[in-house]
Chains A and B, each alone.
Chain A
């Protein structure tokens, strides 16, 4: 176990990349998810079809395959991305598809009368969405969104295959150096667990905050 503590700095650096990739992908995934959900609900039919296709393809293929396509596959077309950039792009696209489904469901779960009341008061569709529908949908979407984010944190381990030295790969590099497995694996498992738990706690606090109004 001493080995783990001796190399804590290196592992923490891995954890930092894990966290960075998670937060960035979460942020962009959220934007993509929201845009795609609105496209599917209110867009003209070509956009709708496009959005549906996107969600279907992403949900129907492994995240690992999506990651290698962005990093190794695009090189064939002269697009060379840094590993971290590729990781964030692939994971944002991935998580965006799942979140769009969550958002779509949440928006549809807001009673129809809410939109009617907003329209009847003279609001435009965009005003009604922003002020009335989305705040209520956010509350509905938060718990499943939290699950997606925690799942995402764990899925970042997949990007070790494209040489991003996040948590898993930093452990693998140390293992290659010291020829011992278990302590490093246990070490990073604990670090993943701490991060997931922190996320979950944060999300529960947000859920309580949003629920206070009701």
Chain B
């Protein structure tokens, strides 16, 4: 479903991704872990082209993009990747001038050119799925953080993506609101959605992930099943990272 090969991203002279290879099969849930600045967000954003890779290639949902392609071609391909993927951001990034339903249906209307009635029907179904049917006409400013993030998940699901990308979806939430968002994500996992998730929620990683990928300094240092990774991380850096995470709790 996803394959990144020798992915390199430079910001100026800084190598933020230093030759990353990542493969995600259909139905897998891959959790990306790593210290701050290790390149987790950058890796995720290179997969759907929000960040332009410096070299290497990615293939997502059957669409292949190589860093060597002409910008125009690359942009066109990333656009078709984006139509087959959904992204959920740390800061939600809901459209403040649109209602919950409007947020969910926007891509259906604009990108798919779907008629309002049909888009609304799909939107209402998705809002029901994240437990927010009663908020269909509420603007984001009237929603709690947890509700906003659930609307954002419904929005990401609208175009029936093959893959969902999550960048720290619960990090901006008050602790008591984290659970409702994770519950929706667990439900998606159970339904077999392919997901790449950057998160510090160890419990979610342990219980829902098919695989944990540990990044440090722009490289994949370790890759393992969650049970094995958390019980006995092989690399010294991963050990230190897990100790720190547990120390915080």
The tally of residues in B whose CB lies under 8 Å from a CB in A reads: 28
* The residue from A111, A113, A122, A139 contacting B82, defined by CB atoms under 8 A apart: A122
The tally of residues in A whose CB lies under 8 Å from a CB in B reads: 19
* The residue from A113, A117, A127, A135 contacting B97, defined by CB atoms under 8 A apart: A135
Give the number of residue pairs across the A-B interface with Cβ within 8 Å: 65
Quote the shortest CB–CB distance from B222 to chain A (angstroms): 28
* The residue from B49, B110, B139 contacting A131, defined by CB atoms under 8 A apart: B110
Known: A122-B111, A213-B139, A214-B141. A116 touches B93 (CB 8 A): yes
Known: A122-B79, A123-B110, A214-B97. A116 touches B155 (CB 8 A): no
- Assess whether A136 is interfacial by the CB under 8 Å rule: yes
Residues on B with beta carbons closer than 8 Å to the beta carbon of A124: 79
A105-143 contacts to B (CB < 8 Å) = 111, 113-114, 116-117, 119-124, 127, 131-132, 135-136, 139
Give A32 to B111 CA distance when docked, in angstroms: 28
Quote the shortest CB–CB distance from B126 to chain A (angstroms): 13
Residues on B with beta carbons closer than 8 Å to the beta carbon of A111: 93
Quote the shortest CB–CB distance from B189 to chain A (angstroms): 20
B110 touches A114 (CB 8 A): no
B139 touches A214 (CB 8 A): yes
- Assess whether B225 is interfacial by the CB under 8 Å rule: no
Residues on A with beta carbons closer than 8 Å to the beta carbon of B48: 120
- Assess whether B106 is interfacial by the CB under 8 Å rule: yes
Residues on A with beta carbons closer than 8 Å to the beta carbon of B97: 135-136, 139, 213-214
A121 touches B93 (CB 8 A): no
Residues on A with beta carbons closer than 8 Å to the beta carbon of B106: 121, 131-132
- Assess whether B170 is interfacial by the CB under 8 Å rule: no
B82 touches A116 (CB 8 A): no
Known: A121-B155, A213-B139. A116 touches B107 (CB 8 A): no
A123 touches B93 (CB 8 A): no
B66-118 contacts to A (CB < 8 Å) = 79-80, 82-83, 85-87, 89, 91, 93-98, 106-107, 110-111
- Assess whether B50 is interfacial by the CB under 8 Å rule: yes
Residue of A nearest to B76 (CB): A124
- Assess whether B159 is interfacial by the CB under 8 Å rule: yes
Residue of B nearest to A214 (CB): B141
Residue of A nearest to B95 (CB): A132
Which 6 pairs from chain A and chain B are nearest by CB?
Answer: A122-B83, A113-B93, A121-B107, A117-B93, A120-B87, A122-B111
A residues with a Cβ closer than 8 A to B are 111, 113-114, 116-117, 119-124, 127, 131-132, 135-136, 139, 213-214
Provide a sorted-by-A list of 27 A–B residue pairs whose CB atoms are within 8 angstroms: A113-B89, A113-B91, A116-B50, A116-B89, A116-B93, A117-B94, A117-B155, A120-B86, A120-B87, A120-B156, A121-B107, A121-B111, A122-B82, A122-B83, A122-B111, A122-B159, A124-B79, A131-B106, A131-B110, A132-B95, A136-B96, A136-B97, A139-B97, A213-B96, A213-B98, A214-B96, A214-B139
B residues with a Cβ closer than 8 A to A are 48-50, 79-80, 82-83, 85-87, 89, 91, 93-98, 106-107, 110-111, 139, 141, 155-156, 158-159
